[in-house]
Amino acid sequence: MLERFWHVSWRTARLCAHETFFDCPHYEQMQFPGDTRVQAIFHYLIADEDRLARKAIDDFHASRVPEGLTLCKYPSQRAQILPTYSLYWIGMLHDFRVYRGDLEFLRRYLPGAREVMAWFERRLRPDGMLGRLDYAPFVDWARDFQCGNAPQDPDGGSAILTLLLAQACQWMAGLESACGFPQLTGRWSRMGRDLVKATLRVCWDARRALLADTAQRRSFSLHAQVEGILAGAWPQAKARAILCKALDDEAITQPGTFYYRYYVAQALKRVGERRRFFDLLSPWEKCLPARASARGPKAQATRRAAIATPGR
């Protein structure tokens, strides 16, 4: 079964890599930071390749509007903004530093990344949480998220968005240090810690032992727990208990897309629960033909060809 998953994944990655990355070859055929970040990591690790990733980083940099944010898809004739995707663009810079290490390439994008962060800083509330964000703060096409956007109170206060910003602070700290600006590293690190502390203070629900989506505590999601773990909100043992509880609780919002499951997998890895990774694979299984169809000579030949594919 895992070999069949691999074949589908490798073929999909190839179909989504042309002159730019695509989110999908059959529908929008657009380059979005949410999908592109995951695709770029796949290319780094599987193909030892970064040309499309470099182009994507530069494309999104070129898409920035005067207030600092990137467009949520580019190249595109239509201007559309999802502020969260600007943070994922900074995540792409972080990933490039970790997996490729070409700091000379990265330095030219730091001013743009700082402008993205400044846009979010201007929207911080006095209690340390993010206020209500303009545009559409997309996170995942989850069942209880309106149009895929993270839940917010009328005045903001989203745990998911605030913790994603905390992660961006951590990415910026690493970028500034590596690119020769250590005087800014401490600033981003402090800001990231303050965002995490504010979120725990405002949104932690002791009764349910979970992080609520907002201060009003009317909704809970796996996403909030995942973002908290990736932002380093809890020690590993506590983070593991929180994540396992959230994964087993069908009453809270669960992921709705393949791309967000990447972050769930990263959270599982962070807390040492790798065995539960296989629980995430059922949506991929639904993409495959019936098991019986994989036993014939044609299917076996296809599998052998997939295993022999360059870059395998």
**pLDDT, position 305:** 52
Whether the full predicted model's pTM is greater than 0.85, yes or no, is yes
Query: 168 pLDDT exceeds 80?
Result: yes
In this prediction, what percent of the chain has a pLDDT beyond 70? 93
Query: 275 pLDDT exceeds 80?
Result: yes
**Spatial CA neighbour of 37 closest among 161, 171, 201:** 171
* Site of tokens 């992660």: 167
Can you say whether residue 167 is alpha, beta or left, with left for phi > 0 and alpha for psi between -120 and 50 degrees? alpha
The pLDDT tens digits of the residues spanning 189-226 come to 999 999 999 999 999 999 999 999 999 999 999 999 99
Q: Which amino acid is at 121?
A: E
**Spatial CA neighbour of 133 closest among 199, 85, 82, 171:** 82
Strand partners, 124: 130
Contact 40/52 with Cβ under 8 angstroms? yes
Query: 71 pLDDT exceeds 60?
Result: yes
What is the set of domains in the chain, with CATH numbers? 2-307 (1.50.10.10)
